[in-house]
Structure 1
């Protein structure tokens, strides 16, 4: 059995216990990734995205970016099945991905991205299937760029690391999901302006294993997992720019993947 903590016979029972690890960036972060990617789509990709998402309340990448996290309430069956697809645990092995070891039965974010990309690329598939694949991809590319979605199995991606930031109790995963961003007190348009002003990210291709390994390496940086529970603004000032860089990279990676898939 790999480090997907539970065997198949009890996985369904423990879905609730695993569910905190299925969130990355929170709604704002995922929308930001969608916005960043949308503005970098090629004309062909933009047209196909618009066609597949027609009928959605907000037919944009940002508008459907949180769909996969909302499944647990809207489609519990698919939500349970897809719960392991949001993350992969690499930190125990030096951030080197091996599918047979790290992704038992293909249930991890790396293989989920590969599968959903194949569905989206197959124009013989029904539009409904391809639209669903697009929704998964937008979310999972965001997920795989959140460092703790490629972290340690032993602490459930930081969910088991309790922290206190300026007197407020939380855990490390939740801090990186949304609370680091919240400390900036910016609106969504202000965040977009801030992220777009960052240097253009290095092109990381379309291989999700490389994205996961890069996220994992952030987890292994000294001080990312704090040595003490009580944190202050020094942690925020050091690590919020890293979170911003990961969001910027996620938007670029998503656009690159969609442009290549929908060419």
Structure 2
């Protein structure tokens, strides 16, 4: 697939740009593709029927005509400006994350004021899509946001951090690669997600009923706590080579052995995200 042939260039460009809150294309597309393989046929048809009305959004630069396009729409629209030159979707910036401090008891209150966080927006989008009175444009927008935000919630650095902007301020190296601005967020957003998704066997498949029940279990709040715990146990404990809340090094060094241990963790997050998205979509449409 062309997008996978271009992954390396895309990752390099994204690293140089140091994105603040994007679970790069590969992670989002993988989550969305897993979901579409595991929803009921009725749900799949309803999703594609609504995405086919995507022109109502008025964002031709950011198409939702495919499930892959819909999965990255919420990031694609960030640079769009209104007639006054102001960010058209600036109000949605904080909807992509909820950085609860991993070195304190789990608490979403500080990072989720007035519903401006990823878990609250997931629940809002589900409500909008289940309400038959929701206008068409709002339904298409809610679907695109939902597909994207479930992916975001399963990138651990969108759920927990150490007051370092989701790992964006935590410089890190990835094996032998160490660019000046490379950080933990970039690694988990892109390099690790790509490595996890391309490691055989393929994550994009039809899962068994038992796998779906086990991996998709819980509520949005349960998933939030779980992803926050992954940030503590895997992201920061690896970065400090021990205590997740120990002082961070000037640059965290992730060895090839560290990366090999983190790949299964990242694979599980992609699986969870995809199957939980499928669960929500079936709840809405089936």
* TM-score (normalised: structure 2): 0.75
Q: Post-superposition shift, 1:203? A: 3.9
| 1:50 aligned to which of 44, 48, 53 | 48
> Could you say what secondary structure the match of 1:64 adopts?
helix
* 1:129-172 CA-partner distances (Å, limit 9, x unpaired): 10110000000000001111111251111111101221322100
Q: Post-superposition shift, 1:106? A: 1.1
Distance 1:181 1:224 in 2: 16
CA contact (8 A) 1:195 1:244 kept: no
> Could you say what secondary structure the match of 2:172 adopts?
strand
Structure 2 unaligned spans of 5+: 1-17, 55-62, 242-248
Change (3 A) 1:231 1:20: same
Distance 1:257 1:22 in 2: 23
CA contact (8 A) 2:125 2:146 kept: yes
- Let me know the Cα RMSD of the aligned residues: 2.6
Map of 1:118 onto structure 2: 127
Distance 1:54 1:97 in 2: 39
Q: Post-superposition shift, 1:21? A: 3.2
* TM-score (normalised: structure 1): 0.81
CA contact (8 A) 2:97 2:118 kept: yes
Task: Report 1:157-236 matches (<5 A).
Answer: 157-165=166-174, 166-169=176-179, 170-183=182-195, 186=198, 193-194=202-203, 196=205, 200=211, 202-205=214-217, 207-221=219-233, 223-227=237-241, 228=249, 229-236=252-259
Distance 2:269 2:197 in 1: 19
Task: Report 1:122-141 matches (<5 A).
Answer: 122-141=131-150
Structure 1 unaligned spans of 5+: 1-18
* Count of matched residue pairs: 240
CA contact (8 A) 2:196 2:264 kept: no
CA contact (8 A) 2:38 2:207 kept: no
